[in-house]
Amino acid sequence: MVNPKTRTWPSIPSFSLSSTGSHSKVSSTHSDDSFFGVQEYSCHHPDAIKTTFHRDSTVLSSRKEFTSKYLEEEMLGQGGFSQVYAGDCWSDFTPVAIKHIPKKKVQFVRVNCHGNVYNEILEVVLMKQAAGLLCDGSFENPAVIGLMDIFDLESEVIIVMERLTDTVDGYDYYTQKRRIPEDQVKVIFKQIVNISLTMHKNGIFHRDLKLNNILVDSSKGTPEIRVIDFGCGDFVENEPFKNFCGTPAFSPPEVLRGETYMAEPTTVWQIGAMMYIICARTKFDTLVYMKRGKKVLKNVSKQCNDFLNKCLALNPKNRATLEDLRLHPWLKKTAKEVVNAFESNFAESQTPQKNSNRREERIF
C-alpha cells in the first residue's frame, strides 16, 4: 500500500483534532495553511506496499455548478453533522445521494502527491482509499459506495455519491425480514468480513460499522452488500486511539472502560454487534452486553455461535482478527451444512442439561 506522509516536510506543524484518532493530523477549517499537518497515513498490513498517492479528484467550488449538474430531492437521512438527500444528475437522470456537511464540521487532511502537498477533505480521502482508488498497490474494494463529485463551498461541503435504487440499509432489511435464515446471515457477513479486511489492508478504519451504514441489494436474489458513511473514519494506526468517534452503543468494551483502542479489534466488535442484532433478533448495546455476559443463541448453529463469540470477546486480546473471521469454519460451510448444523444445535438445546458452574466472560 502507501505512505503518503512526506518526511521531506518536517517544518510543517501539525494540528491535532481530538475527535479523530490519536495520530490523525487534521484540521476542521481552512483558516491558515500553516496549521495543516502532513497526515501520517500508512497501511500496516503485511501485504502492504509503500508506493505513490494519486490525486485524481477535482473539487468544485461553485454552488451554481452544483445546481446545474444535480437536482436535489427528498431527505434520505441525517446524522449529528450532516444531511443526505436523494437526487438525480440532470444530464442523464442517474440517481445520486447528496451529502451536506457544514464547513465547521469538515475535517481536512494534507496528503503528498508526487512531491506536492494538498489539502483534501478527510472523508473523501478515506472513502476513495477504502475502495482502493488512490494509491498504487491498493486492493480493489468495489463494495465501498462510489464517489461522483465534491463541492467545497463557502459554508459547506457537498459530497455526491452513487445511489442504488434497489437497496435498503441493513437495519431496514433486518426489520422487513425480521427472521433471516442462517445461510443468508452467513452470505451477508462473509461479504462484510471481506469488505472490512480489504479496507484495513488499504489502511482505512471505518470506525462506525453498523446496520445503518450497510446497504443491502437483494434484487438479484442473493444479498449484496455496500458500505457507506466514512464520516467517523480514520487511518489504520499501529498505535492505539484515545478518542472514540462513532455510535456509543457499538463502541468496544475497552472504550467504555476508559482505555485506548485499536482499529482491528474495534471493527471485529462492530461486526459482532451487527450480527448479534440479526441472530438474537434484539437491540444491541455494548454496556448491556458487558453486564450480561455472552450467551448461547439456540436458533443458530454452534459454529455460528462460536463466530459470534469470537467477535464479541470482551478482552480485545481475545477477540478474533479479521483474517481469523475470514477463515472461520462457519463462513466455509455450504447452505445445506448450515441447515444441518442448526437442526443439530436445536435438537441438543431441547435436551435437559444438568446445572453447571459455567463461567461467563464479565466486564473486567
- Report the binding-site residues: 104
Q: Measured between alpha carbons, how far is 13 from 7 in angstroms, rounded to an integer?
A: 12
φ/ψ of 137, rounded to 5, equals 85, 0
Q: Measured between alpha carbons, how far is 173 from 88 in angstroms, rounded to an integer?
A: 24
Q: Measured between alpha carbons, how far is 128 from 239 in angstroms, rounded to an integer?
A: 23
Distance of CA 205 to the CA centre of its chain: 7
- Report the binding-site residues for ATP: 104
List of long-range contacts for 258-267, beta carbons under 8 Å, 24+ apart: 260/22, 261/316, 262/316, 263/200, 263/205, 263/207, 263/234, 263/236, 263/237, 264/200, 264/236, 264/321, 264/322, 265/316, 265/319, 266/205, 266/207, 267/196, 267/200, 267/205, 267/206, 267/207, 267/209, 267/322
Q: Measured between alpha carbons, how far is 170 from 173 in angstroms, rounded to an integer?
A: 5
253: three-class secondary structure by DSSP: helix
φ/ψ of 267, rounded to 5, equals -60, -45
Q: Measured between alpha carbons, how far is 23 from 241 in angstroms, rounded to an integer?
A: 8
